[in-house]
Amino acid sequence: MRNGTDRLRALNVPQRVQVELDEQRRPRVVKREAGNEKRVESFGENWRMDDEWWRQPIVRRYVEVVLEGGGRVVLFEDLITGEWFVQMPT
């Protein structure tokens, strides 16, 4: 039997991506891996989230986008590390 930590698998874990930004610091191109990049076709809502300031602060800037091909995803920038991630919209 596996132990408890491998038994629970979080759903909708953010995937790290490379993002090219436009002059307004909005994502223009999203690269998941080499050769797999998609242009952002339109923007939806954007919001900021500050959480868990009492232990390991989490500060994110979210933006909802539609990629070329029609895929709707949520991108966020970790404002502490500067890294970008993609997540499925909820």
Partner 1 sequence: MTLTPHLASDAAACCWIPLFALRSELARRPELVSLPVALLAPDTAHTPRVWQVAPLARRAGVKPGMTVSQAIGLCPGLKLCEPDPVHYDEQFARLVAALVTVSPVVEPVEVGRVFVGTDGLEGLYGAPEGIVEAIQMRSAECGMRNVLNAECGMRNAECKGKRREANDPSLKFRTPHSEFRIGWGRGKFVAWVAATRAKPGEAVIVPVGGEAKFLASQPLAVLPLDPDTHRRLLQLGVKTLGALVALPEEAVVSQYGHAGRRLWRLAAGLVSEPVVGRVVPEPIVAALTFFSSVGERDLLAHALDKLVDRALGDPRRSGWRVQVVRVHAELEHGASWLVEATLKDPSATRERIAAPLKTQLERSPPAGAVERLVVEFTAFAPGTAELQLFARDAGAAARAGRRRALQSAVREIALRIRRPMLYHIIEVQPWSRLPERRYALIDFET
Q: Give whole-number Cα distances, 66 to 21, 31, 72, 80, 85, in Å.
A: 15, 14, 4, 25, 15
Nearest-approach distance from CB 74 to partner 1, in angstroms: 8
DSSP run (H or E) holding 7: helix 4-7
Q: Is the dihedral of CA 30, 35, 41, 44 positive or negative?
A: negative
User: To which residue do tokens 């979080």 refer?
Assistant: 10
With contact defined as beta carbons under 8 Å apart, do 61 and 77 qualify? yes
Interface residues with partner 1 (CB under 8 A) are 1, 3-5, 7-14, 49, 51, 58, 87-88, 90
| CB of 46 vs partner 1, minimal distance in Å | 15
- Between residues 37 and 78, which has the closer beta carbon with respect to partner 1? 78
Judged by beta carbon, residue 28 or residue 61, the one nearer partner 1 is 61
Least gap, CB of 89 to partner 1 (angstroms): 9
State which residue, 22 or 58, has the beta carbon closest to partner 1: 58
Supply the minimum distance, in Å, between the C-beta of residue 80 and partner 1.
Answer: 14
